[in-house]
Chains A and B, each alone.
Chain A
Amino acid sequence: MANPKSAYSIPTKKGKPDTHIIVVWVDNESGVLARVVGLFSGRGYNIESLAVAEIDAAKNISRITIVTTGTPQVIDQIKLQLKKLVPVHKVADFKREDKKVIFKEMALLKVVGKKKKIEKCIKACKTYNPVILDKSSKSVVIQITALRREIDKMSKKLKSLGLISTSRTGAIAMTRGADVFK
C-alpha cells in the first residue's frame, strides 16, 4: 500500500512467522494452566499443541510444553509475558528445526478390521516404535511415538486400513547431550 491510512490497521510484520516450542516450568497449583493459556488467547497468540504434567512432586513443579507460531517479535513477547506470571519459574524456547533438541509426540491408534489389514497396519508403524497395547480378533490399539508430521502421515495412511480412532498428545521436548534447558 502506497499510503496506508491508519496507525492501527496495518500490522507491522517484522520477520516471517516460525514454529517454536516453548517450555515453561511452573508451580503446580490450581489455575496455573488457565493463566498460561489465558495469556495466549488474551494476547492473540496461537497454541498448536500443549502438553502439561507434574515433573517434580517434592518441589511441586509442572512442565508445560507449548508449540506456537509467531514472528520473532511475537515469540519474544510470549516469553517475556510468560516470565511475568508469578507461578512461572523459567521459560525456554527453541525452533522446531533445532538439532540440539528432541521432541516427540505420542499417538494411540485403534484399527478395526480383518487380521490381514491389522497386520499391515502394525507393519506400517514399524519405524515409529510401535507397541501393541491391546489386541482382539477384530481390532488392535497401537501406540507410536514420532514427530507431529509423521503421525499426521500415519493417520492418513492407516485410514484405508481400518483406523477408526486416534488419540494424540502434544509435543514434549528434551535437549540432546548433557545440557539442560536454561
Chain B
Amino acid sequence: MSKLYSGAEIVFKCLEDRDVKFIFGYPGGAVLPIYDELKNHSSIKHILVRHEQGAGHAAEGYARSSGKPGIVLVTSGPGATNVVTALTDAYMDSVPLICISGQVPTHLIGTDAFQECDTTGITRPCTKHNWLVKDIKDLPKILHEAFEVATTGRPGPVLVDIPKDIQFAKTNYSKPKKIKKVNGKSHNKFTQNDINELINLISKAKKPMIYTGGGVINSGPKASEALREFVRLIGFPITSTLQGLGAFPGDDNQFIGMLGMHGTYEANNAMHDCDLLINIGARFDDRITGKIDEFSPKSKKVHIDIDPSSINKIIKVDLAIVGDVNEVLRSTIKKINQKQNGIKVSNKQKISKWWEQIQKWREKDSLGFINSDKTIKPQHAVKRLYELTKSQDTFITTEVGQHQMWAAQHYKFNKPNRWMTSGGLGTMGYGLPAAVGVQIAHPDKLVIDIAGEASVLMTMQEMSTAVQYNLPIKIFVLNNQYMGMVRQWQELLHEKNYSESYSEALPDFVKLAEAYGCKGIKASNPEELDEKIKEMIDHKGPVIFDCQVDPNENCFPMIPSGKPHNQMILGPNDKEENKITGKGKALV
C-alpha cells in the first residue's frame, strides 16, 4: 500500500509538483495544520502579509509580472472575506490565482461556528470555479484541477476551501496527470478559413486599426513577439487598452497611444474613422467604447479572443476568431509570408493616406500639459520618473485614479509584464501590495508603485511586509491631497461641489515611512524633483516618495460620458471644450 499523507501534506505536495515557490498568506485557526506543515517544505517560501487583501493583490502582482499563477493562503471567515476584493479584481483582469482557504471542521459547517462563513457561496461570482472539499479523497484531484482551471483558457482566480478536519485526514496522493480538458472545454476553435478571411480583410483595408488588450499579455511573451512581427509586417497603426500596454513598444512610431476615456486624440479618432478594426485580446470594455451606437461606425470588425463569451457581448463583430492570441497571430503571419510580398507592398501604399491623417491628429499633442516652474505637475513627475528609469528594466504598478491614467499616458512600456494595474475592477489600494508581489518575482529589478495618496492609504500596512522581507519597492506618491479623479468629475459635472473628495488629515508620509522602518523622501518643487527621484532609485531599501503635486490638475484628454470617440475634451489649451450636460452627469 502506498503511503498516506495528511490533507496539509497533500496541499504542499501539489504545490511542489506545480513548482510553486511562493505563497502569499496570513495564518488563522482554520488553516493551522497547513501552516504547521510549511516547515517541512523548504522550496516554498511563505510571504506574510498584513491583511488578506494584500495577499491577494501581491499574488496578482506576482502572477502578472511572472506569468505563473499566484498562490494565496488564508483562514476561514474574515480571512476569506478579506480576500474577496482581490479575487474579484483578478477575475475582472484575468489573473490566474489559486486561493486556498481554511474552513471550520466539516461537522461544524452550517452551525454558525466561530469564524465560519459560506466561503464558496461568497466567492462563487468572483472566481472561475471554487470547491469545498468534503472528502479527503477528493483533495488531490481538486487541487490539480484548480491549477488547470486557473491557468488555462482565459486565466482567472479559483478557490479551494479546505475544512480543518480534512487538513488532518489522510489519503493517498497521486501526481497531476496530463491535461484532460475539463468537460471538453477547448480554447482553440479557429480554422484556416478564419485566418484567410482575416488576411482578405487586411489586404482590402484602407484605414485599418489594431486594438490590443490584456489577452496579448496573458498569452505570454511569445504573443507579444508575434504581435510585433505581425504589426510590422502589415504596417498598420496600433493602439492598446490599459491592460495591454507593453505588448507593443510604447515608443514605436506605429504605436499611437492608449485609447479610451483618457486615450490619445489620434488613437480615439482613428478608432472612430477606421474601416477595419482588429481587436486582439481585448473585450470592448465600456471605458474603451464610449457610446456604443457611435463606436467605430464605419469599420469591419474582427475579434480575436480566447473567451467565446467575450465575442459579440458588447459590439457585434464581422469576423470572430476564438483562440490563443499567439497561435492565431503565428498562423496569420505564416500565411501572409506564404503569399509573398503581394500584401506587404500594396497594403502599405494603400494606407499611406491614413497614416498622413493620423499624423495630423498626432500634431494636436493631446497628452500635452502646461508645465510650471513653481509647482510639480503630476504629468511632469511621471515623465521625469520615466526618463530617469527607462535605462533599466523597470516594473510599474499603480493604484487607481488620475495618477494611474497619467502613468499609462506618460510612462512608455517596451516589454510585456512590466505594467501591473487594476483595470476592470478599479481597486484603489492595488498597487502597493502588487509591488510586493512583483518584487518577490523579480528581486533584482526596480519596482515602482506610481500611487495616489488616497489609494495608497487603503493598503499602506503592506509597507510592513516590504520591510520584513527587505523588498526595495518604491512607492512614488503623486500627492494632491484629493481623490483626484473624483475631484475632476466633480469639477466637470457637479459644479465644483467637491463633496468629500478632499483628505484633510493626511499623514506625514516621510514620518510614516520612518515609522515603518524604511526611507521617506519628499519633493515639493520642480527643481529638486530629478535629484530626489535619483535618490529614491539609488536607495537599496523600500522608499515612500511624497511627491507634492498641483492639486488642481485634471487628466486630459478625456471622452466625457455619453460622447463618441471623436468628441474628446482636450487639455486646458483647447478652445472648443465640450461640456457634459444632461443625462451624462448621472452616469459617471
Chain A: residues with CB nearer than 8 A to chain B?
A: 4-10, 12, 14, 27, 30-31, 34-35, 38, 42, 73, 76-77, 80-81, 83-89
Contact = CB atoms under 8 A, between A and B. Distances in A.
Contact of B316 (A14, A80, A86): A14
B124 A31 contact: yes
Contacts of B286: 7-8
Nearest to B130: A31
Interface in B554-570: 561-563
Interface in B93-137: 120-121, 124-125, 128-129, 132, 134
B291 A86 contact: no
Closest 9 CB pairs of A and B: A5-B583, A80-B309, A6-B562, A5-B562, A7-B291, A86-B129, A5-B584, A8-B587, A5-B582
Interface centre among A7, A10, A35 (most CB of B within 10 A): A7
Measured as residues with beta carbon below 8 angstroms from the partner, the interface class of chain B is 35 or more
Given A31-B132, A83-B308, A84-B309, A38 B125 contact: yes
Nearest to B315: A12
Contact of A38 (B124, B311, B583): B124
Contacts of A4: 291, 293, 562, 583
A81 B120 contact: no
A162 B587 CA distance: 53
B370 interface: no
Contact of B292 (A10, A76, A81, A86): A10
Contact of A80 (B149, B308, B583): B308
Interface of B: 120-121, 124-125, 128-129, 132, 134, 145, 149, 182-185, 286, 289-293, 307-309, 311-313, 316, 561-563, 581-584, 586-587
Contact of A5 (B124, B309, B581): B581
Given A7-B291, A14-B316, A81 B587 contact: no
B47 to A, nearest CB: 29
Which among A31, A38, A81, A87 has the greatest number of chain B C-beta atoms within 10 A?
A: A31
B309 A86 contact: no
A85 B134 CA distance: 21
A77 B121 CA distance: 23
Contacts of B309: 77, 80-81, 83-84
A7 B313 contact: no
A34 B124 contact: yes
9 contacts: A6-B561, A6-B587, A9-B586, A27-B183, A38-B124, A73-B312, A77-B309, A83-B185, A84-B307
A8 to B, nearest CB: 4
Contacts of A73: 312, 316
A6 B251 CA distance: 33
A12 to B, nearest CB: 5
A7 B292 CA distance: 6
Q: Which of A38, A76, A84, A87 has the most CB of B within 10 A?
A: A84
Contacts of B291: 4, 6-7, 10
Contacts of A77: 309, 313
A23 to B, nearest CB: 16
A6 B182 contact: no
Nearest to A9: B587
Contacts of B587: 6-9
A38 B126 CA distance: 11
Among A5, A30, A73, the most chain B Cβ lie within 10 Å of the Cβ of A5
Contacts of A35: 124
A83 B293 CA distance: 28
Given A42-B125, A83-B185, A31 B562 contact: no
Contacts of A7: 286, 289-292, 561-563, 587
Contacts of A42: 125
Nearest to B128: A86
Nearest to A73: B312
B312 A76 contact: yes
Nearest to A29: B131
Nearest to A27: B183
Contacts of A31: 120-121, 124, 132
B132 to A, nearest CB: 7
B557 to A, nearest CB: 16
A86 B583 contact: no
Nearest to B309: A80
B183 A88 contact: yes
B144 to A, nearest CB: 13
A101 B290 CA distance: 42
A87 B303 CA distance: 27
Given A8-B562, A8-B587, A12-B293, 13 more contacts: A4-B291, A5-B582, A6-B291, A6-B562, A6-B587, A7-B292, A7-B587, A9-B562, A30-B132, A77-B313, A84-B128, A86-B149, A87-B183
A84 B310 CA distance: 11
Nearest to B295: A7
Contacts of B128: 84, 86
B215 to A, nearest CB: 15
A85 B124 CA distance: 11
A34 B562 contact: no
B138 to A, nearest CB: 10
Nearest to B292: A12
A105 B360 CA distance: 65
A81 B586 CA distance: 30
